[in-house]
Amino acid sequence: MLALYRTYRPKKIEEVIGQESVVTILRNAAQKDAFAHAYLFYGPRGTGKTSVARILAKTINCEERATDPEFKKQGEPCGVCNACMTIEAGNALDVIEIDAASNRGIDEIRNLKDNIKTMPAQFARKVFIVDEVHMLTTQAFNALLKTLEEPPAHAVLILATTEYDKVPATIVSRTQRFHFRKLTLAEIVSTLKQIATKESVTSEPAALEMIAYLADGSLRDALSLLDQVIAMQGKHLTAKNIEELLGKTDILKVIDLSNALISKNGKEALALLHGIHNEGHNLPQLNRDITEYIRRALALHVNPQLEKLFERELAQTELTSLKKHAQEIDTEYALKLIKLLIEAQTNMRYNPLPIIAFELAVIEATEK
């Protein structure tokens, strides 16, 4: 049985979630046959870079699109011609994928240079997809540059990376660049709901929100987590069980503890902290969650316009609470609290009893 992220990988441009500008530009290019000779897809992990690269490879070589002017106007691969099906199955001789993380030397790029010169064996054009391109060595980048400077007409290179700043400017300048953004929490939750329905999985809303929050903008990570939870928990998902399985503290507990800290109620904060600790939750992760929550509350206090941005990232329950705390928070105290929590986070890494560093931060913040 295929993993969920592979089962529900987008097969057409219209199925790509959260990358509207990328979709629009590539669809327009397909309608006009105005494909570049080299592309650079960059952005966080799990946002669709490799999937879009494969869709683009299908679009470039789609036989239906090449022969039917009306279908061509859709700017999509048909998905049923020989080229589309062969590329989708991963059996295409003219679509070569290279993982630069494990093939980063000059020899691999020299092989690419030799391969790119030969005419396509099956399709109209050869497509080379180089994933994690930032991992290439300096010598390999120099060799790749020569190929980008004088690319053959029958070849297209698609470079993908999670670390744009590590790609040499000489490479970047010779490509069409597309930024893939993190998906919003709402987009991920919506997708998880659809997939859960298709998989006959029922869930509490808070359970899917927790998975989406943990995924940090990566749909692939969200689907991998959903797969893991289903395998361990079954077809009904609850927030409590996900807490136990993934070590993630329920957002309501984060809100309660943040509320105690923001209101300088040390006794309540310590009681809540010990309760969470006794339930076996990951305290360093809890510290990060609390720090992030208070950071957002402080930022919203200073600039209320950030609410529009937070709407994209947060569940409604957290956003409502955050707005309340943003009105109540004391700037000087919040800065002190955040610094103490960051210091505690560092100390927790080296302490066999991480709760001690957390307790000291709580006491120092609320008792002075």
Per-residue pLDDT reduced to its tens digit, 223-282: 999 998 898 888 888 887 787 777 666 788 899 999 999 999 999 999 999 998 888 878
15 within 8 A of 45, measured Cβ to Cβ = no
With 0-12 CB in 10 A as exposed, 13-18 as middle and 19+ as buried, what is 15?
A: middle
**Contacts (Cβ under 8 Å, ≥6 apart) of 54:** 87, 88, 95, 129
**333 pLDDT above the threshold of 90:** yes
Longest dimension (CA), the chain: 76
What residues form DSSP beta bridges with 237?
Answer: 203
Confidence of residue 3 (pLDDT cuts 50, 70, 90): confident
**Average pLDDT value for residue range 206-220:** 87
**Average pLDDT value for residue range 179-189:** 92
**55 pLDDT above the threshold of 90:** yes
Q: What is the pLDDT of residue 1?
A: 64
Instruction: For 4-51, write each residue's pLDDT tens digit.
Output: 988 999 999 999 999 999 999 999 999 999 999 999 999 999 999 999
**Average pLDDT value for residue range 150-174:** 93
CB atoms within 10 A of CB 165: 8
Question: How does the average pLDDT of the chain come out, rounded?
Answer: 91
Confidence of residue 221 (pLDDT cuts 50, 70, 90): very high
Sketch out the chain's domains with CATH numbers: 4-179 (3.40.50.300), 189-246 (1.10.8.60), 251-366 (1.20.272.10)
Q: What is the pLDDT of residue 242?
A: 81
**140 pLDDT above the threshold of 80:** yes
Q: What is the pLDDT of residue 280?
A: 80
Confidence of residue 103 (pLDDT cuts 50, 70, 90): confident
**Average pLDDT value for residue range 127-133:** 94
**Average pLDDT value for residue range 50-79:** 94
Q: What is the pLDDT of residue 245?
A: 75
Residue percentage of the chain with pLDDT more than 70 = 99
**Long-range Cβ contact pairs of 221-224 (< 8 A, separation 24 or more):** 221/45, 221/46, 222/46, 222/188, 222/191, 222/192, 223/3, 223/4, 223/5, 223/8, 223/192, 223/195, 224/3, 224/4, 224/5
Q: How many residues does the chain have?
A: 368
Q: What is the pLDDT of residue 282?
A: 83
Among 122, 101, 116, 123, smallest CA distance to 50 is for 101
Interstrand relation of 202-203 and 236-237 (parallel, antiparallel or unpaired): parallel
Q: H/E element holding 97?
A: strand 95-99
Q: What is the pLDDT of residue 248?
A: 67
**Average pLDDT value for residue range 300-321:** 88
Q: What is the pLDDT of residue 101?
A: 81
Confidence of residue 160 (pLDDT cuts 50, 70, 90): very high
Q: What is the pLDDT of residue 37?
A: 94
Among 193, 213, 203, 223, smallest CA distance to 312 is for 213
Q: What is the pLDDT of residue 353?
A: 87
